[in-house]
Each structure stands twice: as structure tokens, then as C-alpha cells.
Amino acid sequence: MEIKPGKVYLVGAGPGDVELLTLKAVRALRESDVALIDDLVNREVLQFLRPGARVIEVGKRGGCKSTPQAFIERQMVKLAQEGHIVSRIKGGDPFVFGRGGEEVETLLAAGIAVEVVSGITAGIGAPAAMGIPVTHRDCSRGVTLVTGHARTGAGDGDGPNWEALAQSGTTLVIYMGMKNLPDIATRLVAGGLASTTPVAVIQNGTLANEQRLVSTLATAARDAVASGIGSPAIVVVGDVVRYGRSSMITMPLLKSA
């Protein structure tokens, strides 16, 4: 009997809060009979899978033992070739530091149908949850989403050019930057940002165990250690942080001109 071709959905599960899933994500999950789920995804999303669906853990967390990316891609190809409808469930958005681009390339090269289901990336959703607009006409007319570390062997030197980013005039939203935060802050100040520039550090954004810290470039790394905030966390750098709502915020709100 001929095997019916399968399909892969790359599903963005959002920053954590299950209510931030899109309707399209829920539909994709309901169609799937196999799900490959990342470590950081809220397990509440699994309630939307069809009854009896198989769940495969493919955790990837910085600093810990992770499922090799090549293995994940081989699994998706194999399962789809067997005729399965597969959801590859990722935190945030598949195309924002989610390796979605790599996975689409692999699937298309193998002749597998693939559909990307966008999700709310943590760099937008987590700041929004504490009232921080990543853009604001009074103080930031752009936002830069940037990784805090370089891919090993990528040939991109020391990673992002923080001195240049300091001159960009945009809000900086840094993913995977906690380990290198002391160096990042030093280089941003060297690039021209004031040491008093507001910084927000948000761990487990939008979840019940979310932790928030508001500080400055001069003290954010030290304050994060003192408060116990670690990875995974989003770091927001810029005057927009002053608009945030948190019991820990002591900076005055900016006033419109």
C-alpha cells in the first residue's frame, strides 16, 4: 500500500503563556499525530494535540545536554516520510532564533511539505507583559532583536558588534545574553550608551514564575546575580524600559513632549 505523504508544521508556541497561542497553532496541533517539543515550551500546549498523539522530547537549553539539531531534523524527515503529520513545537517564533530556517531547508530538500506557524517571540511578548513597549515615538523608533552569543564555528568573530548597536538608536532586545551580560554592558557603554541607560531582565516571561529586574547598564549584570535571575531570560536595553509596570521599577515614567 502506498504511504500517504506526511507534513511538518513548525509551530511557534509563544513566550510561555498558553493563552498567547494563535488559533492557527491550535489547529496545527489538532491535526498532528506526532509532536516534537522543545524544552522551554509550556507543556500546557500539549492539551491541543489530537487524542493518542505521540510526544517526543527534543529539548535544547543553553549550558545543558541538548538533543542534536541533526537528530531532530532526521526525525522530522523520517516521520513525515512515514506519512505522519508532525508538529515541531518551539518557544516563541520559529524564525526568531528558533532554527526554523535551517529546518525548512532540510525538509524542503527532502521533499517534505512544511508550513511555518508564527508565534509571539519572547522579545516582544515578555516586555509587553510588564508594560514595556519595545518601540515608542518619544524615545525609540525601532527595535533590534539580537543574540547575546555567537554560534561556535560560525566565523563571525566575537559575535554582535555591540559598539555599533549602541549607535543604532533602537531598543535592544537581547536573547541568550545572560552569560555574557557583563561584557555586553561594557561594550555598549564603550559604544556610547550612557551607563545609566535603563535595562530590564525578564526570566520566564508571561509565566506564573516570571521574574523581573529593572536596573541600568552599569549594574544590571551584578543585580541579576544578586536577585537570582538567570537563563533563560530576555534583556531589554533602552529608555522604553521606563514605561514598564513592576513593583521593582523606581525610575520615573518618561513624559511625552
What does the radius of gyration of the chain's CA atoms come to, in whole angstroms?
A: 20
First CA to last CA distance, the chain? 71
Query: Catalytic: 24?
Result: no
Pairing relation of β-strands 85-90 and 34-37?
parallel
Return the ∠ at Cα 231 (arms to 179 and 155), rounded to 5°. 45
C-alpha grid cell, residue 78: 523520517
Query: Catalytic: 176?
Result: yes
Structural contact between residues 8 and 111, judged by C-beta atoms closer than 8 angstroms:
no
Closest C-alpha to 202, from 212, 192, 194, 193: 212
Per-residue CA distances from 10 to 38, 104, 110, 115, 225 (Å): 11, 8, 16, 6, 35
Whether the bond into 94 is cis, omega within 30 of 0: no
Phi-psi domain of 131 (left: phi exceeds 0; alpha: psi -120 through 50; beta: other): left
Query: Catalytic: 90?
Result: no
- The active-site residue out of 60, 76, 93, 130 is 60
Element housing 20 (H / E) = none
- The active-site residue out of 7, 17, 38, 76 is 38
Closest C-alpha to 176, from 215, 149, 216: 149
- The active-site residue out of 24, 78, 176, 183 is 176
Closest C-alpha to 173, from 228, 101, 91, 241: 241
Q: What are the DSSP calls for 118-157, one per residue?
A: ----HHHHHHHHTT--S-BTTTBS-EEEEESSPPTTSS-T
Could you give the residue numbers annotated as active site? 38, 60, 176
